[in-house]
Structure 1
Amino acid sequence: MNLPEVSIGGLCPKLPVIQGGMGIGISLSGLASAVANAGGIGIISGVQIGFREPDFEKDPVSANIRAIGKELRRARELAPNGIIGMNFMSIDSHYTEYVTEAVKQGADLIISGAGLPLTLPELTAGSQTRIVPIVSSARACRLILTKWLRKHNRFPDAVVVEGPLAGGHLGFKLDDLYNRTNQTLEQALADVVAYIRKFEQEHNVSIPIFAAGGIMDYTDVQRMLEIGASGVQVGSSFVTTKECDASDRFKQTYLDARPEDVRIIKSPTGFAARAVNTKFVQQAYDHGGIPVQHCFRCMPEICNAATTPYCLSQALFDAARGENMGGLVFCGGRVGELHEIVTVQQVMDRLTKPAAM
C-alpha cells in the first residue's frame, strides 16, 4: 500500500506524518523544523513554552507569548519550506491568549486536545491557520464537529484520533486504563472513521484522519491506513533523535525505560496520563507527594497548589532539564522499544518505508 497524499486545508506534506507536540520543552523549533524538512509536519508544543525566559517565574504568560513568536520564527528560519504548527492544551487558563499569538505569528496549524477545544474556530477566524482537534472516541469527535458547525459554521481541517498507548495526557478514564477495558486505537479509529465518512457525505467536505498512540514503524502505519486513516501522528520515536530539543538525560530516560517502567498516573489536571516511573513519580504518587514551592497558576480552576501531589509545570521543567529525580517524563506505551539515538530522517524512513528484507 502506497502512502496517501494528504491535504489539511490545502497544506500538503510530502509524507502523511505529524510529529506530536510534546511539552514542556521537548518539541520546540529544533525538532519541529527537522521533521518539517524531512517532509512531515513539525509541531511545537505551546505548553509553558517560555520556561527558559528570564522573567518566566515572575510573569509566565508574557514569557510564553514571547516564546511562541521566537520558536515559530526560528522554526521558519530552519525549515523555510516546511509545515510548522503548534499544540496547545485546551484546559490551559490562558489558551485564548496563546492560540491568538500563534495565529498572529503565522502558525500553519493548531492541534489541540487535553479537553474539548470548542473555542478554536473563533480564535482562528479570518486567518490561514488550520485547526485540528485531538479526540479519543467517536463521541468526542461528534461533539466537537457538531458544535463547531452549529456555532461557527466551521469544519476541522483534520482530526487526530489518539489511542490509549499515547504518551502524556490521555482521553480515557483512569479505571479503564488500569483494567484495560478502554477501546484500542484500532477500535476508536474505526468508529471515528465511520462517523466522519458519513459527516463528509452529508456536508460535502473532506476531513483527513490521523491515528496516534503506539505508532512505531511502517507496519503500524499500514495497519492504520487499512482502517481508514489518512496518516499518523507520532511522538515518542522523535524523542530519541539527535534533533529533539530535550536534554540528553531526558532522552536517556527513554533509552533506559523497560516496558515495566511505564506507569499510568492521574495528572494534577485530573486526566489520566502515561509516564516513566522515575524516582520523582514514585515520590509524587507512592511516598507522600512533593510540596509546591511556586505556583505558576497555569490551571487554577483545576489544580490547587495546597492539595496537588506536585506542581505539574515544575515537574515537566525538571524533566526537560534532567533534574530533580528525573522529573515527570511523559512517554508512549511502547517506549521500551527505543534503544538508540537516531536522526529524524531515520525515524521518518522507519515510518514510511518497508523494513529491508
Structure 2
Amino acid sequence: MKGLPELVIGDLKVKRPVIQGGMGVGVSLGQLAGAVAKEGGVGIISTAQIGFREPDFETNTRAANIRAIGSEFQRARETAPDGVIGFNIMVALKDYDEHVKAAVDAGADLIVSGAGLPIELPGLVESSSTKIAPIVSTEKSAKVILKYWDKKFSRTADLVVIEGPKAGGHLGFDREQLETYTQESYDNEIERIMAVVRKYAQKYQVHIPVAVAGGISDKDAAEHAFSLGADAVQVATRFVTTWECDADLSYKQSYLNAKKEDVILVKSPVGMPGRAIKNPFISHVMAGERVKPKRCLGCLKNCNPAEVPYCITEALIKAAKGEIGEALLFCGADVWKAEKIETVKEVIDSLLGDCV
C-alpha cells in the first residue's frame, strides 16, 4: 500500500496508520504499547486490572491499578520518547473515572473507550491535551455518543474507532447480529457511521479520523478498510503473537495452536458477548458449571459475585500468566491464522507493506 496519508489526531501526528488495540488483563501493557509507538503506530495500554502484578493488588486493588497506570505509561514512554501512547479504558469498570483521570495525569496522548457508552468522557479530560476516541459498533451508538458530547460538552471526538463483528474480547453486538452480519452488510454499517462522524466534523470544522477494527489480520483486510475511507486500522490479535507482547509465552502459544473451530462466542459476566478460544475452562462454563470467585476485586460496575458464572478478573489474569487451561482466552475471529511469533515491526510491515 503506497501513498497512505499520515494519520493526524488533533495535533498528534502518527507516521503509520495502525492503532494497537487495548487488550486486558495484562496483554497490552507498557512493553507492547511502547514497541508499537516506537515503530510509528499508536501504542495502547489496557487499564483493566492493570495492577495485577503489584504486591498489594488483592488487598489494595484500586491503588495498585492507579499506580500501575503511571508506571506502565512510563515504561512505554521510555521505549518511545516521541511516540503516540494512550490507554484503552472500559466504561464497564467500577473505577472508570479514576482510571481516566490517572491516565491524563500520567500524560496519555489518547484515551480509547468502549465496553459501554463513554458519554461522560469529555468532562473527565477537560483542560488536558489528552485526545478522546469512543469505540462504536453501530450507527446508533455513534449518534448517541456524538450527539451527547455535542449537547453537553460542546465538543466532538478526536478519533472514532469502528469495531466490527470479527473483533476480539467484549463485542458491541448481540449474538444474532454476530451470527448474521456479512462483510457487505457491515461495510454498509461502516459507511453509515462515517456519515455520522462527517456531520460532526463539519459542524466543528475539523477532520475526525476514523479507525476500522475487527478482523484486520492481513494486508488485504487493511486495504479493504482503507478502501472504505478509514484513516487507520486498529489491530489487536496480530500483536498478541509478537515477542514484545506483555502476555506469557503460553498465552501466545494458545493463539498459534488455535484452529478455526476453536473460536467461539461466550457470554461475559459483563453481560456482553465475547469471542474466545475454546479450552477446558470455557467448556465447563458452557456446560453450566459455576466457577466460584475466590474473592471480589470490584472490577466491574454491573457484576454480582453471587450470580456470575465465573470471575472475569481471575480468568483473564490466569490467561496473562499462562495458566491456559483455567483461563478466558479472548481473541479475534482470525486468531487461527496466526502461524508464528513475530516482532511488532514485522506485523506492521505485513499490514501496510511499504507504506510510509
What range is the shorter-chain TM-score in? over 0.9
Mapped to 2, the partners of 1:138 and 1:334 lie a distance apart of 24
- For 1:231-270, list aligned pairs within 5 A: 231-270=232-271
Mapped to 2, the partners of 1:76 and 1:200 lie a distance apart of 30
Residue type matched to 1:344 in 2?
A: V
Contact 1:29 1:74 in 2 (8 A): yes
Q: Which runs of 4+ in 1 moved over 4 A?
A: 179-185
Moved more, 97-106 or 171-180: 171-180
Residue type matched to 1:103 in 2?
A: V
Residue type matched to 1:274 in 2?
A: R
Where 1:12 maps in the other structure, the secondary structure is strand
Residue type matched to 2:237 in 1?
A: S
Contact 1:218 1:354 in 2 (8 A): no
Mapped to 2, the partners of 1:185 and 1:224 lie a distance apart of 11
Mapped to 2, the partners of 1:291 and 1:324 lie a distance apart of 18
Where 1:50 maps in the other structure, the secondary structure is coil
What corresponds to 1:219 in structure 2? 220
Query: In percent, how many aligned pairs have the same letter?
Result: 48
What corresponds to 1:271 in structure 2? 272
Where 1:7 maps in the other structure, the secondary structure is strand
Residue type matched to 1:93 in 2?
A: K
Name the CA shift for 1:21/1:27 in 2 (closer, same or farther; >3 Å): same
What corresponds to 1:139 in structure 2? 140
Contact 2:165 2:181 in 1 (8 A): no
1:203 deviates by 3.2
What corresponds to 1:321 in structure 2? 321
What corresponds to 1:154 in structure 2? 155
What corresponds to 2:73 in structure 1? 72
Q: TM-score, normalised by structure 1?
A: 0.96
What corresponds to 2:171 in structure 1? 170
Deviation digits for residues 21-69 of structure 1, max 9, x if unmatched?
0000000011001100111000001100000011111111000000001
Mapped to 1, the partners of 2:94 and 2:224 lie a distance apart of 37
Mapped to 1, the partners of 2:189 and 2:279 lie a distance apart of 30
Where 1:103 maps in the other structure, the secondary structure is helix
1:181 deviates by 7.7
1:218 deviates by 2.2
1:126 deviates by 0.3
What corresponds to 1:309 in structure 2? 309
What corresponds to 2:351 in structure 1? 351
Name the CA shift for 1:314/1:182 in 2 (closer, same or farther; >3 Å): farther
Name the CA shift for 1:240/1:326 in 2 (closer, same or farther; >3 Å): farther
Where 2:128 maps in the other structure, the secondary structure is coil
Name the CA shift for 1:291/1:335 in 2 (closer, same or farther; >3 Å): same
Residue type matched to 1:33 in 2?
A: G
Mapped to 2, the partners of 1:275 and 1:43 lie a distance apart of 21
Deviation digits for residues 262-315 of structure 1, max 9, x if unmatched?
01111000011100011111112224121111111112x411111111000000
Moved more, 281-290 or 239-248: 281-290
Mapped to 1, the partners of 2:21 and 2:170 lie a distance apart of 12
Where 2:89 maps in the other structure, the secondary structure is strand
Mapped to 1, the partners of 2:290 and 2:95 lie a distance apart of 27
Mapped to 2, the partners of 1:68 and 1:82 lie a distance apart of 17
Moved more, 8-17 or 284-293: 284-293
- State whether structure 2 residue 143 is matched by structure 1 residue 106: no
Aligned residues: 354
Residue type matched to 2:9 in 1?
A: I
Where 1:134 maps in the other structure, the secondary structure is strand
Structure 2 residues not aligned, in runs of 5+: none
Contact 1:116 1:144 in 2 (8 A): yes
Contact 2:19 2:43 in 1 (8 A): yes
- State whether structure 2 residue 299 is matched by structure 1 residue 298: yes
1:180 deviates by 4.7
Contact 1:162 1:185 in 2 (8 A): no
- State whether structure 2 residue 335 is matched by structure 1 residue 335: yes
Deviation digits for residues 301-344 of structure 1, max 9, x if unmatched?
41111111100000000011111614001000000100100110
